[in-house]
Chain A
Amino acid sequence: MQMPAPNPAILSRKAELVARLRAVLPADAVIADPAETRAYECDALTAYRCPPMAAILPSSTQQVSDALAICHEMGVPVVPRGSGTSLSGGALPTADSVILGVARMTAVLETDFDNRFIRVQAGRTNLSVTGAVEAQGFFYAPDPSSQLACAIGGNIAMNSGGAHCLRYGVTTNNLMGVTMVLMDGTVIELGGAHLDAPGYDLLGLVCGSEGQLGVVTEATLRILHKPEGARPVLIGFDSNEVAGACVSDIIKAGVLPVAIEFMDRPCIRATEDFAHAGYPDCEALLIVEVEGSEAEIDAQLALIEGIARRHDPVELRQSRSAEESAKIWLGRKSAFGAMGQINDYMCLDGTIPVSALPLVLRRIGEMSKEFGLDVANVFHAGDGNMHPLILFDANRPGDLETCEAFGAEILKLCVEVGGCLTGEHGVGIEKRDLMGHQYGSEDLAAQMDVKDVFDPGWLLNPAKVFPLDASRARRAARGRAA
């Protein structure tokens, strides 16, 4: 992975920078000792590491603004960081950068059940947002797998999804407003407790911009009342194609489940060994969940089971209790952990049109033989967001490189069939150099124009999203080392 060479002029001013940051932040909020900055050398994409020059942990919007103004004046790159759970290297530092962590900003600022929103600081974890409103029967809908740890600020940066987006949408559909600090320290408010934007939809533009347009310090989030109940059904098939066809038929029939999850045989086997969820021995497994009152659930599941039966399932098992439901989800939710027990793996995140599912699964199987690496598939089938897990051995020379090449081919295939490189993990550094497969130079230029407007010095979260070649001229034009 190519990263820009650190700027020696910046490195040489570390002492001055740290002193200035300490003047505006609490003493323990500025970390400059190399033994301690190592804690920030990577996020959940651990294959790439680089300790930052310093790390800061502000606790208010004002402190973020003061710190950014200093970094801006000194031309120091800043890498915003939520909880460091990015799977795409979205919070990977450069050696000449300052990590700006929002981990100390976890407060709930306002809850309003009449108007159905909560306002929180950006470091609050996804699950604890729901935790703050569930006593009143409410929840925050986006539910990325890392929801116990991941921060709302990171969710906004990556426009995170989750298993239930088919029904509730992703972060951008549940985000009502932000307080954000621009690189020069200017504080702006976008959106709020009302709906839609008065001018351009800058809130929509900021969501998913991977921390490159500003640092979000506070967020207003839509909350919903919990459904009366929810129940999953487990459906096993003897081929991936048939399972794929069943997904399409369910959607066409006019039921909209809250989740349709798909696992293939390698994944079923690994999770079964690990979590003992009682999954059947079959080629492909669907977990379909619906919500509502008992009677509504019965009616929807009856319809879904009728559709599934026309595809000759080898297993069709409706949950009969909360314990059974939990068990069914336990297997799915521990899929990544289970794979990690038996192998090193790389998790991909392409999205494809649901209709292309059988073709893409077949091609991945063929490529698996060509590259000599096994693949397990687990994904959100309702919205076509795939998570192929390529298994490799990090200790075997060349395996990681083969795995990366294989992964790139799968993502190119996703684009070829009408899909995209990343459905919910973000581009980060991981998919940066593949952007040219999805977008032409004009398409990328239009996106980089946005970056120019918000962060003319290209100081925020450097070297992510755009191929370095594509952005070189813009970075150089603004006095940054290319």
Chain B
Amino acid sequence: MTPRTEDELAAIIKGADAPLRIEGGGTRPIGGRAVGARLSTSAMRGIVLYEPGALTLVARAGTPLEEVEAALAQEGQRLAFEPMDHRGLLGSAGTPTIGGVVAANVSGPRRVQAGACRDFLLGVRLVDGAGRIVRNGGRVMKNVTGYDLVRLMAGSYGTLGVLTEVALKVLPAPQAAVTLRLSGLDDAQAVAALARALGSPFEVTGAAHLPGKATLLRIEGFAAAVAYRAERLAMLLAPFGAVTIEDDPATVAATWRDIRDVAAFHGRAGDIWRLSVRPTDAPGIMAGLSGVEALYDWGGGLVWLLAPEGSAQAIRAGVNARGGHATRLRGAGADAFHPLPAPVAALQAGLRQRFDPRGILNPGLMASM
């Protein structure tokens, strides 16, 4: 089913008597495929409004991400949360949509400085599981009118409602970007170096560590400012070793695209895990695991793991002991989503029951509790 309008979508959901599998471009089968008849938002597409002077863009949910990014690039702007492309990592095909980005709250390396997708989401329109058309938020940058269902929808994987339109805050694209590269650091040293950089006034917009390969930082902004900050940062990091600065635009872009999309794990066998933890806890969690390969982003706060099948218990034990959460993006089993404490799980189940009383939207997703 591929409705062309919000009203058609509402009619389909109202009339549904069996589970629906909600899909934007189908490129993010996170935690396995949901069951049910395919319901695609791909025909509800197009940029509805774009005001560069107000830093706002409104698009229908099925609009290809590529189309949004191209429109922004024409005005020298961009989505600052840097949504990753999951296709290489998950072996999926299709066209990523802006609605899918929001439904999965997809961010990239810049999340550590600029914020996540949910931080840039200004408003949503959706059809919930009862066929109710709901608006929340708007298209202005400051809005505290009523409860914030905007953030509730970001990252809810279509289980509360099907997004039909999203409004986003956009930001100017920088004039220049450079990568600072250190090598030879072990995981704990690398995380300490990244923490030093992130705790500086030099506005680091990327902080990653590829074990055994390199420890990388990114600076973006006006050309003169970038050169100045890179130099100051290199001095600050001198105790951690020699710093090389790369400023070729294509190389810098490729380096951070690879980190964003976890290119190092593309085409590799094994389960893919995504951990969100306190950055300085990350090396300790890794030290307690065997047979895994790790990549660190967000200064260590985001850990990508390539792990053998059946690692769920060990990974979650390590995370739970210190605080944080772990999601299995690729691999078999019903425990992809991080279990929640009972009272929080009860609130989540209550919300789901309210927004989707018949339990027909993406059943099985986010249900690992």
- A-B CB contact pairs (8 Å), 8 listed: A166-B141, A190-B344, A197-B155, A200-B351, A251-B54, A418-B140, A419-B140, A426-B144
What is the CB-to-nearest-CB distance from B36 to chain A, in angstroms, rounded to a whole number?
A: 20
A252, B144: Cβ atoms closer than 8 Å: no
Given contacts A195-B116, A384-B141, contact A202 B348 (CB under 8 A): yes
A173 interface residue (CB < 8 Å to B): yes
In the assembled complex, the Cα of A234 lies from the Cα of B142 at a distance in Å of 24
Max chain A C-beta neighbours (<10 A), residue from B141, B147, B173, B221:
B147
A196, B116: Cβ atoms closer than 8 Å: yes
Within 8 A of B (CB), among A397-452: 418-427, 431, 435, 438-440, 442-447, 449-452
Chain A positions within 8 Å of B, measured between CB atoms, are 112-116, 137-138, 158-159, 161, 165-166, 169-170, 172-173, 182, 186, 188-190, 192-202, 204-205, 207-209, 225-228, 248-249, 251-256, 292-293, 295-296, 299-300, 351-355, 380, 383-385, 418-427, 431, 435, 438-440, 442-447, 449-454, 465
Tell me the nearest residue of chain B to A214, going by C-beta: B347
3 shortest A-B CB distances, which residue pairs?
A204-B151, A198-B325, A248-B53
Contacts of B140 in A (CB 8 A): 351-353, 383-385, 418-420, 423
Max chain B C-beta neighbours (<10 A), residue from A353, A446, A450:
A446
Chain B positions within 8 Å of A, measured between CB atoms, are 51-56, 75-76, 105, 107, 111-112, 115-116, 118-119, 128, 132-136, 138-152, 154-156, 160, 171-173, 175, 192, 195, 198-201, 221-222, 224-225, 228-229, 276-280, 298, 301-302, 323-325, 327, 337-338, 340-341, 343-345, 347-348, 350-351, 354-355, 366, 369
B343, A188: Cβ atoms closer than 8 Å: yes
What is the CB-to-nearest-CB distance from B286 to chain A, in angstroms, rounded to a whole number?
A: 15
In the assembled complex, the Cα of A190 lies from the Cα of B323 at a distance in Å of 11
Contacts of B155 in A (CB 8 A): 196-197, 200-201
Given contacts A115-B195, A248-B54, A296-B225, contact A446 B134 (CB under 8 A): yes
Identify B276's interface contact among A112, A159, A196, A254, CB under 8 A.
Answer: A196
B139, A353: Cβ atoms closer than 8 Å: yes
In the assembled complex, the Cα of A450 lies from the Cα of B355 at a distance in Å of 9
Given contacts A445-B132, A454-B347, contact A351 B147 (CB under 8 A): no
A194, B278: Cβ atoms closer than 8 Å: yes
Given contacts A353-B54, A354-B54, contact A449 B354 (CB under 8 A): yes
Contacts of A418 in B (CB 8 A): 138-140
What is the CB-to-nearest-CB distance from A416 to chain B, in angstroms, rounded to a whole number?
A: 12
Contacts of B112 in A (CB 8 A): 195
B148, A351: Cβ atoms closer than 8 Å: no
Tell me the nearest residue of chain B to A249, going by C-beta: B53
Max chain A C-beta neighbours (<10 A), residue from B53, B105, B145, B341:
B145
In the assembled complex, the Cα of A136 lies from the Cα of B95 at a distance in Å of 46
Tell me the nearest residue of chain A to B298, going by C-beta: A195
Contacts of A450 in B (CB 8 A): 147, 149, 152, 351, 354
A200, B152: Cβ atoms closer than 8 Å: yes
B354, A453: Cβ atoms closer than 8 Å: yes
Given contacts A225-B201, A293-B225, A295-B228, contact A383 B142 (CB under 8 A): yes
Tell me the nearest residue of chain A to B154, going by C-beta: A201
Contacts of B52 in A (CB 8 A): 251-252
Contacts of A295 in B (CB 8 A): 224-225, 228
Contacts of A423 in B (CB 8 A): 140, 142-144
Given contacts A194-B301, A423-B142, contact A114 B276 (CB under 8 A): no
Given contacts A201-B152, A248-B53, A249-B53, contact A192 B118 (CB under 8 A): no
B142, A446: Cβ atoms closer than 8 Å: no
In the assembled complex, the Cα of A255 lies from the Cα of B280 at a distance in Å of 33
In the assembled complex, the Cα of A200 lies from the Cα of B75 at a distance in Å of 34
Contacts of B152 in A (CB 8 A): 200-202, 204-205, 450
Given contacts A165-B141, A449-B354, contact A355 B51 (CB under 8 A): yes
B146, A439: Cβ atoms closer than 8 Å: yes
Instruction: Given contact pairs A189-B341, A438-B145, enumerate 14 new A-B contacts (beta carbons under 8 Å).
Output: A172-B151, A182-B343, A195-B302, A196-B116, A199-B366, A202-B347, A226-B201, A254-B172, A296-B221, A353-B139, A353-B140, A383-B140, A418-B138, A449-B355
In the assembled complex, the Cα of A426 lies from the Cα of B142 at a distance in Å of 11
Contacts of B199 in A (CB 8 A): 113-114, 116, 138, 225
A353, B56: Cβ atoms closer than 8 Å: yes
What is the CB-to-nearest-CB distance from B115 to chain A, in angstroms, rounded to a whole number?
A: 6
Given contacts A114-B280, A200-B155, A225-B199, contact A446 B149 (CB under 8 A): yes
